[in-house]
């Protein structure tokens, strides 16, 4: 209705007088309506509405109209009680907080290892032709191996404990960090390097104040991808062989044929992935505050 009125209002010059009058009447009502529309059109409001819509569909499809087969497709009420069970009574050998703590710890350690090794290696490959020639063939061969293919070897070497998972997460998160740091260095404007050489920049300062800052936007892109890879790999690794963790919850719930608990596990991973990515984005915004907009 409001759209119609504004459309009439727009080309009212071409309308007859009568219609022009009605259009201007409708036009007078517009400010009130557009106020509502403006409020509803705010991105956070739209996002909240979108989440509400999904919840509504979920309720409708399960508990209200029972469109989805009961038992296999959990209702929101079942989900809620499973969530409470996992939080307070515990499931798969511990409370959800305990599982989350274990998973989060492994991701953080694995991600930190990947960051501390991958970024320097990428920077080295980007800034030295020799280093590139040495590392590239090995890296190119290792890179297509899916991180999950390392799981059998990792378990064989390190058992079902944390170490094997950290190793696999490290390997998975390592690759995007290396590639993006490398690309970041290669992408630095050649004239900036020339300017730095002309200004007599010593080697250490060249790395610290020219190469690393120049590559930083892409280093962060790599870290975001690494974090994503870390979560994916962790869940897979915990599903294959673990005694605790969110992936283990998923595995046990599958064996128990417990769909609402599977959903609890999945959403937990979602929330964890989202919040760690958000934390990384906060660091990125802080660190890239000096960089021109649009380059990060």
| Residue 211-240 contact track with another protein, rule CB under 8 A, x = bound | --xx-x------------------------
Distance CA 79, CA 68 (A): 15
Stretch that binds another protein, among 22-30, 114-122, 206-214, 230-238 (CB under 8 A): 206-214
The residue assigned the tokens 């979602």 is: 270
Nearer to another protein, 72 or 290 (CB): 290
Nearest to 166 by CA among 218, 217, 242, 274: 242
CB of 226 to another protein, least distance (A): 23
**Residue of 209, 243, 279, 283 that binds another protein (CB under 8 A):** 209
Contact flag: residue 192 with another protein (CB under 8 A):
yes
Distance CA 211, CA 196 (A): 10
Nearer to another protein, 144 or 200 (CB): 200
Contact flag: residue 203 with another protein (CB under 8 A):
no
Nearest to 170 by CA among 222, 110, 118: 110
Partners of 94 in the β-ladder: 91
- For residue 143, the surrounding DSSP H or E stretch is none
C-alpha distance across the termini of the chain, in Å: 42
Per DSSP, 94 falls in state: B
Contact flag: residue 194 with another protein (CB under 8 A):
yes
Contact flag: residue 204 with another protein (CB under 8 A):
no
Site for another protein in 265-294 (CB under 8 A): 290-293
The residue assigned the tokens 């029972």 is: 66
**Residue of 210, 218, 235, 240 that binds another protein (CB under 8 A):** 210
Distance CA 23, CA 11 (A): 10
**Residue of 43, 69, 202, 204 that binds another protein (CB under 8 A):** 202
The backbone torsions φ and ψ at residue 73, rounded to the nearest 5 degrees and listed phi first, read: -115, 105
Contact flag: residue 197 with another protein (CB under 8 A):
yes
Contact flag: residue 200 with another protein (CB under 8 A):
yes
Contact flag: residue 295 with another protein (CB under 8 A):
yes
Contact flag: residue 189 with another protein (CB under 8 A):
yes
Contact flag: residue 38 with another protein (CB under 8 A):
no
CB of 209 to another protein, least distance (A): 8
Distance CA 109, CA 235 (A): 15
Nearer to another protein, 43 or 204 (CB): 204
Q: H helices then E strands: how many in the chain?
A: 13, 0
Please check whether residue 80 is in contact with residue 222, taking contact to mean a CB–CB distance below 8 angstroms: no
Number of residues in contact with another protein under rule CB under 8 A: 23
Binding site for another protein (CB under 8 A): 189, 191-192, 194-202, 205, 209-210, 213-214, 216, 290-293, 295
């Amino acid at each position: 209705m409001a759209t119609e009125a504004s459309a009439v209002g727009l080309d009212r010059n071409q309308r007859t007088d009568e219609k022009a009058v009605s259009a201007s009447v409708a036009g007078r009502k517009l400010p009130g309506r557009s106020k509502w529309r403006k409020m509803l059109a705010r991105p956070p409001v739209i996002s909240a509405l979108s989440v509400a819509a999904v919840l509504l569909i979920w309720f409708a499809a399960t508990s209200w109209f029972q469109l989805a087969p009961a038992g296999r497709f959990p209702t929101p009420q079942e989900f809620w009680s499973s969530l409470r069970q996992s939080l307070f009574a515990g499931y798969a050998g511990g409370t959800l907080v305990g599982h989350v703590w274990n998973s989060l710890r492994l991701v953080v350690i694995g991600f930190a290892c990947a960051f501390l090794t991958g970024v320097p290696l990428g920077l080295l490959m980007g800034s030295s032709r020799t280093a590139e020639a040495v590392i590239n063939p090995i890296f190119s061969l290792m890179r297509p191996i899916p991180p999950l293919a390392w799981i059998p070897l990792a378990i064989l070497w390190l058992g079902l404990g944390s170490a094997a998972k950290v190793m696999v997460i490290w390997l998975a998160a390592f690759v995007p960090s290396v590639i993006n740091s490398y690309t970041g260095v290669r992408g630095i404007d050649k004239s900036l390097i020339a300017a730095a050489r002309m200004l007599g920049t010593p080697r250490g300062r060249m790395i610290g104040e020219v190469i690393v800052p120049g590559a930083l936007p892409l280093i962060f892109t790599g870290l975001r991808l690494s974090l994503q890879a870390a979560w994916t790999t962790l869940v897979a690794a915990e599903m294959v062989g673990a005694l605790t963790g969110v992936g283990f919850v998923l595995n046990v719930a599958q064996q128990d044929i417990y769909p609402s608990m599977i959903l609890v596990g999945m959403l937990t991973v979602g929330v964890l992935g989202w919040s760690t990515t958000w934390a990384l984005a906060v660091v990125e915004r802080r660190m890239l505050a000096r960089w021109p907009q649009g380059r990060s």
